[in-house]
């Protein structure tokens, strides 16, 4: 498999499709649909909606090139036994607590309608779905084992929110030796400033946590390689 070179910050990012996974973080109805957890907290969810279309193009390209695609969902068991009391307490102080009834079922509870991924980005058959109780996708999940068994070296990361679950996952991956590329226009935060600050934090100091780029650069590089 040939190496693909992508224009990125702070410098060119290189990967091979058979050694790379696209990791889509928490594109759930609770965060990305009207009436979900994010909106009920008073957030403007338009940034999380706007990334769906570019992410659809990236997802299609990854599938066309037989890359490993992994989806994650943040949520908890119905009895909340895997939800730390401190996290539960903080969520309830915001007026819409984890486990409370919401417009799409119990908020951030596995198996509820709001917990699932938006229709536009539903996993294809065989694509792993990682249900995580924390912010990072490696914490108390089998993501690391899946990546190891598939001989993955690089992660292309997208999803929500940039400054919380996305950035946490990239930092976790960095400590585990993975080279990560954040897709800037396929990731979002409810506050645009949080999104921009996270981009800078990731690629500063010579890619201290990873690289960042726009999805059009990634797609152009893939298309050029497969011609």
* Annotated catalytic residue, options 40, 132, 135, 186: 132
Contact between 160 and 26 (Cβ < 8 Å): yes
Set 32, 83, 165, 180: catalytic member: 165
Percentage helix, strand, coil, to 5, in the chain? Answer: 40, 25, 35
Residue 100 to residue 32: CA distance in whole angstroms:
18
Is 165 in the active site? Answer: yes
- Give the active site residue among 26, 30, 116, 179: 26
Residue 55 in tokens:
């992410």
Distance CA 45, CA 39 (A): 6
Contact between residue 51 and residue 121 where contact means Cβ atoms under 8 Å apart = no
Choose among 90, 58, 64, 62: nearest CA to 159.
Answer: 58
Q: Which residues are catalytic?
A: 26, 132, 165
């Amino acid at each position: 498999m040939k190496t693909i070179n992508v224009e990125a910050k702070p410098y060119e990012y290189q990967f091979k499709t058979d050694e790379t996974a696209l990791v889509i973080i928490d594109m759930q109805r609770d965060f990305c649909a009207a009436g979900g957890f994010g909106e009920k907290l008073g957030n403007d969810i338009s940034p999380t909606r706007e990334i769906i279309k570019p992410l659809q193009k990236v997802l299609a390209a990854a599938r066309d090139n037989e890359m490993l695609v992994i989806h994650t969902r943040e949520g908890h068991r119905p009895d909340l036994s895997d939800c730390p009391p401190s996290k539960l307490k903080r969520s309830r102080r915001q007026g819409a607590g984890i486990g409370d009834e919401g417009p799409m079922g119990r908020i951030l509870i596995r198996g509820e309608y709001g917990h699932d991924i938006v229709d536009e980005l539903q996993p294809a058959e065989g694509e792993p779905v990682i249900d995580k109780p924390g912010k990072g996708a490696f914490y108390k999940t089998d993501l690391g084992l899946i990546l190891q068994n598939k001989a993955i070296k690089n992660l292309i990361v997208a999803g929500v929110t940039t400054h919380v679950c996305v950035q946490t996952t990239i930092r976790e991956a960095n400590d585990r030796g993975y080279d990560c590329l954040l897709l800037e226009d396929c990731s979002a935060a409810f506050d645009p400033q949080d999104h921009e600050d996270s981009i800078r934090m990731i690629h500063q100091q010579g890619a201290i946590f990873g690289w960042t780029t726009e999805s059009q650069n990634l797609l152009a590089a893939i298309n050029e390689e497969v011609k």
